[in-house]
Amino acid sequence: MADSIHWAFPPALQPNADDVDFDLAEALDAVVALRAGIPDDAFTAPILGTERGGNGVVIDRDGLVLTIGYLITEAESIWLTTNAGTVVAGHALAYDQESGLGLVLPLGPLGARSIERTSLAAGELDGEVYVISHGGVGHALRAKVVARREFAGHWEYLLDEAIFTTPAHPEWSGAALLDSAGRLVGIGSLFVQEAEGEETVKGNMFVPSELIDPILGDLLRMGRANRPARAWLGMYSVETREGIAVQGVAEGSPAERAGVREGDIVRNVAGTSISGLADFYRCVWRCGSAGTGIPLTLWRGGAIKEVTVTSVDRNALLKKPSLQ
């Protein structure tokens, strides 16, 4: 992801204030830059790094910022910067593991307008949408939605319906996806390559911003959703022709303690055959919430191995933010 604001999309790729049905300047100013510092000994530091940068979107009149959760996981410092140049410290209020969304509370006035959010209408598959990162209109991209479908990530993450857009925005992390009316419909998560017809096109994956709505009250009150924590194993897995292959295990994770190894192939969960990565996760979560023992049948070196992984709440391994 680019670190400098001194670049711009070609004018033909930028939205034009005269051609859109909303106040483009207000929409641009609702997106702030986000920089987070993470301790060297944080659980996620080896994978996500200790200095993280991206974007956030102001979603209410008090300046609450919605972003992608991996930017703020275990953050000990957060700084928010507006297009007007205002710099404010932030507090990592919540990270919802299921949706992947995070909330940042600014510790001072941002002076930025909030943006309305909604769900992506079916018609937006044929219409124009806009991907916006901090930095003004030069960092705003006219785009189209190429797919809305299930997404399974190798880090035990599953969305029933993610949003995929093209062309790719280079500063996707926490970026805003706006519909044709200028309303927030997604938060940037990944760079992806999507098949479109016989071609492979580069684009971005967005988490639907509407996923925050049912749990927003819980996150503001308790810092997490009021639901049982999902079972977490600490396995990084991918689909292969042989089945679900373990690409790695997190250090100190339940999978490592149970003896799961890189290269193992998961054949079934609790005696149930699995048909893909999403099915694997759903089978694990059907066994019970965090703390449940998850029986796995593995194929290793030409032989079957049975293990039971005692799952945990992933959040229990993460450093908690504190207000100082």
Task: Tell me which long-range contacts 139-144 makes (C-beta under 8 A, separation of at least 24).
Answer: 139/5, 139/7, 139/8, 139/9, 139/171, 140/9, 140/14, 140/15, 140/24, 140/28, 141/9, 141/13, 141/14, 141/167, 141/169, 142/13, 142/14, 142/15, 143/167, 143/169, 143/177, 143/203
CATH number at residue 31: 2.40.10.10
E-assigned strand segments in 96-133 = 101-106, 128-132
Report which secondary-structure segment, H or E, holds 285.
helix 277-286
Identify the pLDDT of residue 3. 44
Integer Cα distance of 246 and 235 in angstroms? 7
Residue 82: inside a domain, yes or no? yes
What is the average pLDDT score of the chain? 94
Identify the pLDDT of residue 232. 98
pLDDT: is 121 or 209 the higher one?
Answer: 209
Residue 189: inside a domain, yes or no? no
Tokens coding 82: 């507006």
The pLDDT tens digits for 199-210 are 778 999 999 999
pLDDT at 120 over 90: no
Domain count, the chain: 2
Q: For residue 252, what pLDDT band results from cuts at 50, 70 and 90? A: very high
Residue 133: inside a domain, yes or no? no
Domain that holds residue 278: 235-317
Q: Are 116 and 60 in contact (CB under 8 A)?
A: no
Identify the pLDDT of residue 162. 97
Integer Cα distance of 271 and 290 in angstroms? 19
The pLDDT tens digits for 46-67 are 999 999 999 999 999 999 999 9
Q: What is the CA radius of gyration of the chain?
A: 20
Q: Is 286 helix (H, G, I), strand (E, B) or coil?
A: helix
Q: For residue 123, what pLDDT band results from cuts at 50, 70 and 90? A: low
Residue 163: inside a domain, yes or no? no
Residue 281: inside a domain, yes or no? yes
Looking at 83, 114, 145, which one is the last position of a domain? Answer: 114
Closest Cα to residue 313, out of 296, 294, 289, 286? 289
- What mean pLDDT is predicted for residues 122-149? 89
CB-neighbour burial class of residue 226 (10 A; exposed 0-12, middle 13-18, buried 19+)? exposed
- What mean pLDDT is predicted for residues 102-106? 98
Residue 43: inside a domain, yes or no? yes
Cis peptide bond upstream of 167, omega within 30: yes
Residue 149: inside a domain, yes or no? no
CATH number at residue 258: 2.30.42.10
Residue 170: inside a domain, yes or no? no
Looking at 114, 140, 155, which one is the last position of a domain? Answer: 114
Integer Cα distance of 43 and 317 in angstroms? 7
pLDDT at 1 over 50: no
The pLDDT tens digits for 74-89 are 999 999 999 999 999 9
Looking at 88, 114, 140, which one is the last position of a domain? Answer: 114
pLDDT at 324 over 60: no
pLDDT at 285 over 80: yes
